[in-house]
Amino acid sequence: MARASSGLAYPERFYAAAAYVGFDGSPNSNDKDIGSRFSNDVALILYALYQQATVGPCNVPKPSLWNPVEQGKWKSWKQLGNMVSAEAMRLFVKILEEEEPGWYSRASNSVLEPVTDVQMNHNAIVEPIIENRNSFAERKTISAENGGLIETQDIDVVSEGLGSVVVYDQWTSPPITGQCPKGRYEHAAAVVEDKMYIYGGNHNGRYLSDLHVLDLRSCTWSKVEAKVESKSVERPSPVNITPSAGHSLIPWENKLLSIAGHTKDPSETFQVKAFDLQIGTWSMLNTYGKPPVSRGGQSVTLVGTTLVIFGGQDAKQTLLNDLHILDLETLAWDEIDAVGVPPSPRSGHAAAVHAERYLLIFGGGSHATCFNDLHVLDLQTMEWSRPTQQGEIPVPRAGHAGVTVGENWFIVGGGDNKSGASETVVLNMSTLAWSVVTSVEGRVPLASEGLSLVVGSLNGEDISFGGYNGHYNSEVNVLKPSHKSTLQSKIMEGPVPDSVSVVHNATNPTRDLESEFEVGQEGKIRETAIDNFEPMKSKGGETSEHILAMLKAEKEELESSLNNEKLLSLQLKQELADAEARNTDLYKELQSVRGQLASEQSRCFKLEVDVAELRQKQQTMETLQRELELLQRQKATSEQVAINAKQWQGSGGVWGWLAGRTPQNADDA
């Protein structure tokens, strides 16, 4: 997955990393220094990746067995096969960053491009916005870092929210107290009852298993001392909850479900862990069916009572684009073979659901490429499509985070092979139109990879945490979307759907006179009332009564469309009821066939038993037959012996022969 960071782009960043490690271009540059700084395995893979990036695949002869060092280097290089140079460069830098996270700052003296490291939680400058809606105006003095005054502007100030959130559509850093978690990325976050939970992640190349909670009311961190539930009463051995990164955290009932993720010793199949919020224990969920292979960097989306899992990267670093569904009520797995062209295999993408029917997939990355494509899966027909995007399409990125607020999908962070994504963008999921909410500057956590993003339950703020942009972050930042950015009918460049209408009120410059219509899954339409309307002439010479008449006509037309949609909805409900009835009949028929099959299986089993008994009796009969034949032969032999003995006795025996008697004479005598 592409790493988001500022500074040099590739390949200059790779050569800077290679020079930092000690490779100056010669075949045996600083081998002793490299071997002393890194373990043998790391030193060998760094050497192999450097050779693969600068020379190409290994085509040199295998060295002699008498030189084990050169043979080990040759073997490591040979194992890379035909890996492309760009991917070898990326892996080289990634391994170095995991071994020495601060290498870039230490080597920055030799890098021509300066790197600005701005910490959002310690930045006292708040840029103003030119918007005044649902707030009161205040003259705000913005101070520069050197203490001088820049200018005073109007900003939006609100008295509610998380901590010191005082502006709309701008990221701010509220004051946070308590035990802050260590910096991390590829962790998971979720909000339950005004509390944000942070679990796991990656810090300095090590996977974590700690659980922290941020109280959104008091802005206080605390660590959750989680316990591990035993397997059973008979077997009190604990369940092994391994540290992980790249997993997903989903609130469900009174539990937090940790789904998949990379581990040090990965299992072969998908794992689902559950943390009980009431008793504070971890346990493993026993699922049924064929689970997916283990992975990390996937997307997990809660749709009704099911989890939709897409893509990711398995333990062998193979990118995936398979689709699986886990029913949380039955805990049964189902692999989906959707029609259409699916997204290419990827990891580090973002997913959202619209109208409880459409699954949206945006961005992500392969081993050497990042994407900014948008794919939609119809969860009813299970068909993939790639619609046309409108507005300001975001740059390619991976490792970003997203949340939905109404029909708007906010995307924050991520990056490509060159830099982090600085824009916070929003997609209207009804019109598929993009717009930029705000931007950040410098090397800040909001422009990093692997950060988390959730929606606060108090006032609907977007809350980000953590991320990696050359170092591991633990900052909390808050964005309070303005009324403008959360409107479903936000004005965009390009075509505007017929179902959206916005009219500005000329009598009040601080308010928009708007009629907002929101068409939901079943065709429901919500109309926003028109306030503070005074009859007057418009710029085009039309009276306000004429405009009102046009709006009424449009309202009647929309009500007619609503009635048609309701009729269509009734028809669809009837068809659904018929389909469910047919499904019930088929299920009963299936149960009947299953019963008949069970009876036939039982009958076949009895027949097999009977056949086995008959075979045994046949073998017994054959044995008795052989014994009878043997007895008959013995009887015949005995009878022959008796006859011979009788003849012998009648002949007088040997004495008669000596006396000169013949058998005939003996008979006469």
CA distances from residue 617 to 346, 610, 612, 620, 630 in whole angstroms, order as listed: 65, 10, 9, 5, 20
pLDDT of residue 493: 38
Question: Token pair 């009040």 is at which residue?
Answer: 508
The tens digit of pLDDT for each residue in 579-627 reads 988 888 898 889 889 889 888 888 898 898 989 989 999 999 999 999 9
**CA–CA gap between residue 412 and residue 482 (Å, rounded):** 16
Asked whether the domain spanning 170-230+237-480 has the same topology as the one spanning 11-103, the reply is no
**Per mean pLDDT, which range of 118-122, 474-478, 501-505, 634-638 is the poorest?**
501-505
pTM assigned to the model: 0.54
pLDDT in tens, 155-213: 344 334 454 444 688 999 999 999 999 999 999 999 999 999 999 999 998 999 999 99
Burial 305-339 (b: 16+ CB within 10 A, else e): ebbbbbbbbbeeeebbbbbbbbbbeeeebeeeebe
pLDDT, one tens digit per residue, over 13-37 is: 888 888 888 886 544 455 556 767 7
**Cα–Cα distance between 234 and 563 in angstroms, integer?**
61
d(CA 546, CA 542): 6
- Mean pLDDT score of the chain: 78
Average pLDDT over residues 325-346: 96
What's the Cα-to-Cα distance from 506 to each of 229, 514, 523, 548, rounded to whole Å? Answer: 64, 11, 31, 14
* Residue 48 to residue 620: CA distance in whole angstroms: 73
The CATH architecture to which 170-230+237-480 belongs is 6 Propeller (2.120)
User: Predicted confidence band at 523 (pLDDT cuts at 50, 70, 90)?
Assistant: very low
Q: Tell me the per-residue pLDDT of 609-618, one tens digit each, with 9 for 90 and over.
A: 989 989 999 9
Q: How many CB atoms lie within 10 A of CB 218?
A: 13
In the three-class reduction of DSSP (H, G, I as helix; E, B as strand; rest coil), residue 96 is classed as helix
What residues does each domain of the chain span? 11-103, 170-230+237-480, 595-625
pLDDT at position 279 is: 93
Give SS3 for 454.
strand
Specify the pLDDT at position 266.
Answer: 87
Residue-wise pLDDT for 405-428, tens only, equals 989 999 999 998 788 999 999 999
Which residue is associated with the tokens 């600083």?
Answer: 30
| CA 85 centroid distance within chain | 28
Is the predicted pLDDT of residue 245 greater than 90, yes or no?
A: yes
CA pair distance 602, 328, nearest whole angstrom: 35
- Predicted local confidence at residue 653, as pLDDT: 59
Give the residue among 475, 457, 481, 474 at the shortest CA–CA distance from 217. Answer: 457
Give residue 550's pLDDT band: very low, low, confident or very high (50, 70, 90): confident
The first and second tokens of residue 53, run together, are 């990036």
Is the pLDDT at 123 greater than 80? The verdict is no
* The predicted structure's pLDDT at residue 233: 39
DSSP of 458-512: TT--EEEE--BSSSB---EEEEB--TTTT-TT---SS---TT-EE---TT-TTS-
Q: How many residues in total does the chain contain?
A: 669
- The string of pLDDT tens digits covering residues 422-455 is 999 999 999 999 999 999 988 899 999 999 999 9
Q: Which residues contact 637 (CB under 8 A, 6 or more apart)?
A: none
**Residues in Cβ contact with 517 at an 8 Å cutoff, skipping those fewer than 6 apart:** 489, 499, 500, 501, 525, 526, 527, 558
Burial class (CB in 10 A: 0-12, 13-18, 19+), 463: buried
Per the structure block, which two tokens stand in for 26?
Answer: 């010669």
Identify which of 349, 400, 358, 405 has the alpha carbon closest to the alpha carbon of residue 377.
358
Residue 249 to residue 188: CA distance in whole angstroms:
5
CA distances from 102 to 184, 205, 472 (A): 14, 13, 10
* Six token digits for residue 205: 């190349």
Phi, psi of 408 (to 5 degrees): -110, 135
Task: Please enumerate in sequence order all residues whose Cβ is within 8 A of that of 387, keeping only pairs 6 or more positions apart, or say none.
Answer: 374, 376, 432
Q: Sheet containing 390-391: give its strands across.
A: 390-391, 433-439, 423-428, 408-412, 401-405
| HEC-encoded secondary structure of 297-312 | CCEEEEECCEEEEEEE
Which has the closest alpha carbon to 129: 169, 159, 88?
169
Q: Which two tokens stand for residue 571?
A: 């028809």
Tell me the CATH number for domain 11-103.
1.20.80.10
The more confidently predicted of residues 375 and 101 is 375
Q: Give residue for tokens 């027949």.
A: 607
Burial (0-12, 13-18, 19+ Cβ within 10 Å), 555: middle
Question: Residue 360: phi, psi to the nearest 5?
Answer: -105, 135
